[in-house]
A and B are shown apart, each in its own frame.
Chain A
Amino acid sequence: MIEVKGLVKTYGAKRAVDGVTFTVKRGDILGFLGPNGAGKSTTMKMITGFLRPDAGTATVDGVDVTADPVRVKQKLGYLPESAPAYPEMTVEEFLGFIAEVRGFRGAAKAAQVDRAVQLTHLAPVRKQTIETLSKGFKQRVGFAQALLHDPAALILDEPTDGLDPNQKNEVRSLIKNMSAEKAVILSTHILEEVDAICNRVIIISRGKVVADETPEQLRARKPGARLDEIFRSLTHGDI
């Protein structure tokens, strides 16, 4: 579903992403791990077409993102880090806007908004402006926006960052429930999250992939050790 080959992005003298390659199939939930600044967000931004890669390709459902960014954006749902949204709009207005940009008009638009609101449990704040919402609700609005068109591939940048334990749990079950027919990439630096929902892990350090395996294989690297110890030994060069 999502194929990434040799992605490179350079900022000045620093190689933020240095030849990242991986594929994600339908039904996969890929945990994208790495220290802050390792290149997780940059990689995701290149897959979504927000940043142009200096080298390498990313394809979604067979469409190359540099060749036809708009078609890739139609297929993807993307939750950017810290879930940006227009603060002066109400939840309903905001989701209505997303639906219109995604080509839904009239009754189809209302149906898509209703579905997204229901999936993310936003009904109680539907008529509230986004600036008045708590962090957890804002995050859910970001989710609703990403899910609205029922995309085949989802890219979530730190979806549980800053949420309380209950909200984290809820977001995780949400991701898990819809993962069956989707390809999901989620970045995180919370290791327990990997255990909780992911069936594959990629660890990236200083722009390079240092591990690409199942959570079980990752554990088997050092039997008996905790996940964060394994994580530290894999990324120790990255401070």
Chain B
Amino acid sequence: MRQITPIFKREFLGYFRSPVAYVFLIAFLVISVSLAFSRYGGFFRAGVAGLESYFTFYPWLFMFIVPAVGMRLWSEEKRSGTVELLFTLPVTTLEAVLGKFLAGWAFLALAVLLSFPMALTVGYLGDPDWGVIATTYLGAVLMAGAYLGVCALTSALTKNQVISFVLSLGVCAILLFLGFSSFTDTLEGALPMVVADALSNFSFITHFDAFTKGIIDPKDVIFFLSLMGFTLFLNVVALER
């Protein structure tokens, strides 16, 4: 397992060796903050010292932004042939999968944490509940990991980054919409209540919501962690095939 470190390091620093990291971080922060300030977010109008109007867009934003980070994880290696180099070095597939995934996750966590001026702003303007803000950040990072698991998997399926992006966008969209209210209403109309409920249990929104209210429910934590575990397992299978 000690080979994870060099792989993690190379992958994480790799984001910063090209303009990708800077373009991504700036785009992410600009879009997320302007959504909060827009009339849909109503950051100031709400008159609440909290970050709910900022984080409410995260599940939607992640749908586009995480595939952009995840699509290159394996597709790029396959296209450029470095996958042959990587897998003739003394590493196991699991080490490589974990190293690369953790690097992508750390990068996403960095992007999320760089929104800290928003937290400072509400702290300056009012008296926010710091506990709620902390759980929201924890939820956002966990959700980012679950999204990334899906994207890493689709990336391992193809050497074409565009296909990888579209595939992961599609899967993430499904996992998102399952919990979107107007969509679940339709589901409840068409399917028995039990089935509709079970389906909406697979949604990112359902599980992220509690975090934004300051609740760390083990059920939600386990959902995100098991989704990561499951996709990473499939990732190993897809690469060893």
Residue numbers of A with Cβ under 8 A of B are 45, 48-50, 70-71, 73-74, 76, 78, 80-82, 84-89, 97-98, 100-103, 129, 145
Contact = CB atoms under 8 A, between A and B. Distances in A.
A70 B96 CA distance: 13
A74 B90 contact: yes
B5 interface: yes
B10 A86 contact: yes
Contacts of B5: 100
**Closest 6 A-B residue pairs measured CB to CB?**
A100-B6, A84-B81, A73-B90, A88-B17, A74-B90, A84-B82
17 contacts: A50-B88, A73-B88, A73-B91, A80-B85, A80-B88, A81-B81, A82-B81, A85-B82, A86-B82, A88-B14, A88-B17, A89-B10, A97-B6, A98-B89, A100-B5, A101-B3, A129-B17
B6 A84 contact: no
A97 B85 CA distance: 12
Given A100-B6, A102-B90, A80 B80 contact: no
B108 interface: no
A102 B5 CA distance: 12
Interface residues of B, number: 21
Given A50-B88, A70-B90, A73-B90, A101 B82 contact: no
A84 B90 contact: no
A96 B216 CA distance: 42
B111 to A, nearest CB: 20
Nearest to B3: A101
B213 to A, nearest CB: 42
Interface in B10-25: 10, 14, 17-18
Contact of A50 (B2, B80, B87, B92): B87
B3 A86 contact: no
Nearest to B10: A97
A70 B84 contact: no
B81 to A, nearest CB: 4
A80 B84 contact: yes
Nearest to B82: A84
Interface of B: 2-3, 5-7, 9-10, 14, 17-18, 80-82, 84-85, 87-92
A108 B92 CA distance: 23
A101 B88 contact: no
Contacts of A103: 2, 90
A85 B89 contact: no
Contacts of B87: 49-50
A85 B85 contact: yes
Given A97-B10, A145-B85, A87 B90 contact: no
Given A88-B18, A101-B6, A73 B85 contact: no
A121 to B, nearest CB: 21
Given A80-B88, A101-B6, A89 B82 contact: no
Nearest to A72: B90
Contacts of B10: 86, 89, 97
B184 to A, nearest CB: 43
Given A84-B80, A89-B17, 15 more contacts: A49-B87, A70-B92, A71-B90, A73-B88, A73-B90, A78-B88, A80-B84, A82-B81, A84-B81, A84-B84, A88-B17, A97-B9, A101-B6, A101-B89, A101-B90
A56 to B, nearest CB: 19
Nearest to B99: A101
A71 B91 CA distance: 10
Contacts of A86: 10, 14, 80, 82
Contacts of A102: 89-90
Contacts of B84: 45, 50, 80, 84
Given A74-B90, A100-B6, A84 B17 contact: no
Contacts of B90: 70-71, 73-74, 101-103
Nearest to B92: A70
A219 B221 CA distance: 71
